[in-house]
Amino acid sequence: MKIIMLGAPGAGKGTQAQLIAEKYQIPHISTGDIFRANIKAGTQLGKEARQYMDQGLLVPDELTVKILLDRVAQEDCAGGYVLDGFPRTIPQAQVLDEALAKQGEKIDYAIDVNVPDENIIRRMSGRRACLACGATYHIEHVPPKQEGICDHCGQKLVLRDDDKPETVKNRLKVYHEQTQPLIEYYTEQGILRTVDGTRSMAEVFDAVAAILS
């Protein structure tokens, strides 16, 4: 099964993608996580990506598309995957569709996690992220078992650099301009499904699981 998670920054794409990956035993692929891992490791890619991410802007398609296509070509993706944060522009979606079509494949579902902008800014300030394994927590809604430590891998949790309120506002603006048109794109393909992302994490996942089963 090949699944795309759509939604504004902070809508819960990563949270739900992680749950899908666990339930269906498929890789969770987040371009944002890949960029953050590269920033942490100090790679050239990380340096380039950071210039955009810190301002809440999208990393250029040329960089992003190559990374994603390389990743989905790896062996562990043969049985499907859940994409989180990709595609984010119509050209990215088109490149992905073309690459899949060459192998006689296609995306099965694009799931839009719908959360109004007002809720987003509040959520982001409470988020804590693990840069080692990509797990996401919230100090009130989804706290880790031990404060500041990742349940999955034991690493220290951090507030992401791009979660400052000013940057979040920019990310929302970029989302509405460049990413929201994908809702129309996948509606036309007949594979868009929408879930109410303002519900609790477990309720959102029930809705997602109902779509996938």
Q: Which residues sit at the interface with ligand AP5, rule CB under 6 A?
A: 7, 9-15, 30-32, 35, 52-53, 56-59, 64, 85-86, 88, 92, 123, 126-127, 136-138, 141-142, 162, 171, 200-201, 204
- The answer to whether 122 is a known catalytic residue is no
Which residue is it, tokens 């380039």?
A: 48
- The letter for the amino acid at 25 is Q
Q: What is the separation, in whole angstroms, between the first and last Cα of the chain? A: 11
Residue nearest to Mg ion (CB): 14
Minimum distance of Mg ion from residue 104's CB (angstroms):
30
Q: Which residues, 5 to 24, sit near Mg ion by CB under 5 A?
A: 14
Cα separation, 172 vs 182, in Å, equals: 15
Cα separation, 36 vs 101, in Å, equals: 30
- The answer to whether 193 is a known catalytic residue is no
Minimum distance of Mg ion from residue 102's CB (angstroms):
28
The two tokens of residue 157 are 């949790």
Q: Which does 88 bind (CB under 5 to 8 A by kind): ligand AP5, Mg ion, none?
A: ligand AP5
Q: Which does 4 bind (CB under 5 to 8 A by kind): ligand AP5, Mg ion, none?
A: none
List C-alpha distances in Å: 61 to 127, 139, 155: 27, 33, 31
Q: Which of 50, 33, 85, 57 is nearest to 161 (CA)?
A: 50
CA 88 to chain CA centroid, nearest Å: 10
- The answer to whether 88 is a known catalytic residue is yes
Minimum distance of ligand AP5 from residue 198's CB (angstroms):
7
Greatest alpha-carbon span in the chain: 47
* # chain residues binding Mg ion, by CB under 5 A: 1
Footprint on this chain of Mg ion (rule: CB under 5 A): 14
Active site residues: 13, 88, 127, 160, 171
